[in-house]
Every structure is written in structure tokens, then in C-alpha cells.
Amino acid sequence: MLDILLPFGLIILAGVVFRFLRFGSIAPDLVRASINLLVLNMFLPALCLKIVYSASIDLQTTLIPLTAAATLLFTLVLSLGIYSFLEKKMPMKPSEKGALLIASAFGNTTYLGLPVLTGLYGPDAARYALFYDLLATTPILWLLGAPMASRYGEGKKMKLSESVRTIASLPPVWAILGGLVLRLMEIQLPAFLFKTLALLGDMVVPLMVFSIGLALIVPKVNHAFVIMPAVIMKLAVTPLIAYMTARSLGIRGEPLAACFLEGAMPVMVLSLLIAERFKLDLSLTSLIIVVTTALSFVTLPVAVYMTQFLIP
């Protein structure tokens, strides 16, 4: 596991160094936004189309989005209960509570989950991360997470119709649907086109990992201890919820391990964009991303070791 995480760690560190040194006087946030735009609209759709078109998709794989959805909903409800209780014991602004709720539930299932799973189980394992994220995590983020963030934040409130339009406009989702159509219609892609998709898809992992480093900042937070329940929830409780949910659905073997590890991912970097858009506590969001990402270099190897005993 270390031979997988250490290269990722070095690439993340390169992103941090780039942010600190500002090569070429380019604003790091502008570089990160540009990378995210390219990945979302070109490289990730190419990877999605290639994987869905070429990888084997069995019944257990199709149950992964259901596992992810149930895990997210249960985690959100549990986090809401915990922070509603703590809210009575300590002063907590709505913008802080909203940031903590989003961070507790939504993990870095593509930006870090995809490279970890493909590093462990090979290129075909990308389908687990894509199904977990793009067919469950992303829709729930915009259908439930974003409206929740808008409720606790001070920004513009998000309507359901806007959430649906956001999901429908995501190129990776359309790429997955396109790959399924090609499979069902048994359409053979020309070799040069498949190779093009492969080359574009190969760009996803290094760019996404580098983007994590660009997003990491050391924030100033007055009462950082409030993140502890969210940290424990994200790194320790959520993977167990994902594991139990997947097992109850009959998922076994490699797909079960993938669900367990996806649940163990640190807080998603996209939380920063959600916090900024809906005016949640940006400093608190940054802190929990930094803390969970750093801790994941310890917790993820532990989670991988646990799969030896938990996965039938």
C-alpha cells in the first residue's frame, strides 16, 4: 500500500510546493480551477467512456451506487444528530455546522479513491470508483448536500430544479451513459479512438492528485476541536457503514473491498467549492480537508490491511 500512497503523497506535495512558490506568478487557485475544468470536461469523461465500454460490469458492480447512496444518507443523518446535540453544548454558527455536515459525509471518492483502487486492483477497478462517485455521491451532493449547504450558509438558496440541471450537465455522467449504450448495442470502437480515450484517461489520476495539493492550505480556526466528530465519522465510521451496507446487499470480494475503501476516503476537495458557493465556513472546511487527507496516509493502509479479514 505504501508504494501506492507514497507517489501520491509526493504529487500532492508538489501541488503544495507549487501553491507556495507560485511558479510563473500564476494564482494557484486559478491553476486548480483550470485543472478541475479540464478533468471534468475532457479527461474524466474519456476515462468513464473507456472503462464502462471495456470493463466487465456484473450485478455486484451495479449495486455499488446503491451502497454509496445508503451510506451517504445514513452518515448525513448521524452527523446531523451529533452536531445538533453538540450545538446545544457549545456556540456554533450555522455556517460552521453546515460545513461540518458536508465534510462528515462526502469523501474524496474520485480524486483519491480512483487512483487508490486502480493501484490496488488494476485499471478495471476504476469502475468501482466511478459508479460509487458519479452515480451516487455526485447526484446526492447536488440533490441533498448543496441544498443543505445553502440552508446553513449565507449564499443563494439552491432549488431542486437547479440541482437536477447541474447533474444533467455533468460530462462524466453522460460518458457513463454513452459507454453503457455502446455496450448494449455492441458497437465496436475503432482502435485509434479507443487508444485516444485511454491516453486522455491516463491524465486523470496525476492531475487529480496534484489538484489535491493545490487545494491544501493551513487555515486559522478558533475552535478546531469541533472537527473531531466529523474526522472520526469520515475516516472510521463511514467505511464500516459502507461495508455493512454492501454486505447486506450481497456484495462480496473485490467490489466489497472497494466500497469499504471508498468509505474510508478523506473529505472531498469539492467541499471547498460548496463552502465558497454557499458561504459556509471556508476556514473550517479547509482545516478538515487538510486533517483528514494527512491522516488518510495512516488510516488507508490500515483499511487495506483490514480487507484481508473482512472480505469473504
Judged by DSSP in three states, 120 sits in helix
How many angstroms separate the CA atoms of 97 and 81, rounded?
11
Q: What is the largest CA-CA distance in the chain?
A: 63
Q: What is the pLDDT of residue 49?
A: 92
Cα separation of 254 and 260, whole Å?
10
- Per-residue pLDDT at 223 exceeds 80: no
pLDDT band at 3 (very low <50, low <70, confident <90, very high): confident
87-106 burial by CB neighbour count: b if 16+ within 10 A, else e?
A: eeeeebeebbbbbbbbbbbb
Higher-pLDDT residue of 197, 28: 197
Specify the residue for cell string 486533517. 291
How much is the pLDDT for 80?
94
- Across the chain, what does the average pLDDT equal? 88
- The pLDDT score that the predictor gives to residue 98 is 92
Most confident of the ranges 43-57, 75-89, 120-134, 242-256: 242-256
Say what the pLDDT of residue 90 is. 80
H runs (alpha helix) in the chain? 2-21, 28-38, 44-54, 59-62, 64-89, 94-105, 113-121, 126-132, 138-140, 146-152, 160-168, 171-184, 191-201, 204-215, 228-232, 238-248, 253-263, 271-278, 282-310
DSSP for residue 267: B
- Domains assigned to the chain: 2-15+28-310 (1.20.1530.20)
Q: What is the pTM of this model?
A: 0.87
SS3 state of residue 107: strand
pLDDT at 262: 97
**What is the tens place of the pLDDT at every residue in 52-73?**
888 778 889 899 999 999 999 9
| Rounded Cα distance, 38 and 172, in Å | 12
Q: What is the pLDDT of residues 80-129, one digit of tens each?
A: 999 999 888 888 889 989 999 999 999 999 888 988 999 899 988 999 99
- The amino acid at residue 134 is L
pLDDT greater than 70 at residue 293: yes
Q: What is the mean pLDDT of residues 196-215?
A: 87
